């Protein structure tokens, strides 16, 4: 039976805390090469200060000496499409050509009721749950009739649950956060990216400090803005 999952951020940072720390230290080493201003050993405190300085002065190219990978779980295909628009990234996503979706999972907004009866006109009513059930039954029917996943996928909705691994350097992550945690971003990618940002801020001090909470929209989803630091 088709399963509906409430859309709540679910992701894993695939790099160890140690690797993130090493990359922060590397930024100071790289940046200080410019002016030959090495001061001996770098540490987390000096690297954090240095990263903040780079961002304040707009020297973000130094942040490109890094790379961090996040695996997104339980997000809709609709969100993955938005994520995939970011070009200076590496992406590996679940295939609808090869993965069989006879046991479907759908992601559904937390602020909507999947049992709401929707008026379809001409005296017909249906809930989201019923509609999704029908999609699964139909997909399974196609598969049982010999259709391959890559053929049956034409009837899949954008709410289908999907997974994706997404890698970017920290300059590009900053760009992704700037666009996707801001109020105009769609609530699914925004609520997920707000949590990724918060995790990055804890693990990688200095590099993402200029993103601050700026409010909550009418459906209760947070948004952020960038400030001068």
**Where on the chain is the footprint of ligand FAD (CB under 6 A)?**
85-88, 172, 175, 179, 184-185
Strands 3-6 and 105-108: parallel
d(CA 190, CA 180) in angstroms, rounded, equals 5
Sign, Cα dihedral of 154, 156, 157, 159: negative
Give the count of beta carbons closer than 10 Å to the beta carbon of residue 113: 11
Smallest distance from ligand FAD to CB 196, Å: 15
Q: Which is nearer to ligand FAD, 144 or 218 (CB)?
A: 218
Q: Which is nearer to ligand FAD, 88 or 155 (CB)?
A: 88
Where do runs of H (alpha helix) occur along the chain? 17-35, 44-57, 77-83, 128-144, 149-152, 170-180, 187-203
Smallest distance from ligand FAD to CB 104, Å: 27
Q: Which is nearer to ligand FAD, 132 or 207 (CB)?
A: 207
Smallest distance from ligand FAD to CB 182, Å: 7
Smallest distance from ligand FAD to CB 150, Å: 25
Smallest distance from ligand FAD to CB 171, Å: 9
Rg (CA), the chain: 22
Q: Which is nearer to ligand FAD, 65 or 86 (CB)?
A: 86
Q: Which is nearer to ligand FAD, 152 or 185 (CB)?
A: 185
Q: Which is nearer to ligand FAD, 78 or 131 (CB)?
A: 78
Smallest distance from ligand FAD to CB 168, Å: 8
Q: Kindly provide the b/e burial profile for residues 146-177, where b requires at least 16 CB atoms within 10 angstroms of the residue's own CB.
A: eeebeebbeebeebbbbbbebbbbbbbbbbbb
What's the token pair of residue 4?
Answer: 């509906």
Strand partners, 80: none
């Amino acid at each position: 039976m088709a399963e509906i999952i409430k859309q709540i951020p679910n992701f894993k940072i695939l790099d160890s805390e140690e690797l993130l720390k090493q990359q922060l230290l590397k930024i100071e080493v790289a940046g200080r090469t410019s002016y030959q201003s090495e001061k001996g050993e770098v540490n987390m405190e000096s690297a954090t200060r240095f990263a903040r300085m780079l961002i304040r002065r707009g020297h973000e190219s130094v942040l490109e000496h890094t790379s961090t990978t996040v695996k997104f779980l339980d997000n809709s295909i609709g969100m993955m499409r938005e994520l995939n628009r970011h070009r200076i990234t590496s992406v590996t996503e679940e295939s609808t050509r090869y993965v069989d979706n006879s046991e479907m999972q759908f992601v559904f907004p937390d602020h909507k009721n999947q049992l709401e009866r929707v008026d379809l006109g001409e005296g017909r009513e249906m809930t989201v749950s019923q509609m999704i059930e029908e999609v699964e039954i139909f997909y399974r029917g196609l598969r049982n009739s010999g259709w391959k996943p890559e053929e049956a996928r034409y009837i899949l909705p954008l709410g289908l649950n999907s997974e994706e691994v997404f890698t970017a350097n920290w300059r590009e992550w900053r760009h992704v956060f700037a666009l996707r945690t801001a109020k105009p971003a769609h609530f699914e990618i925004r609520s997920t990216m707000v949590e990724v940002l918060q995790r990055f801020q804890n693990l990688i001090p200095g590099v993402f400090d200029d993103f601050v909470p700026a409010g909550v929209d009418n459906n209760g989803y947070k948004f952020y803005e960038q400030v001068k630091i």
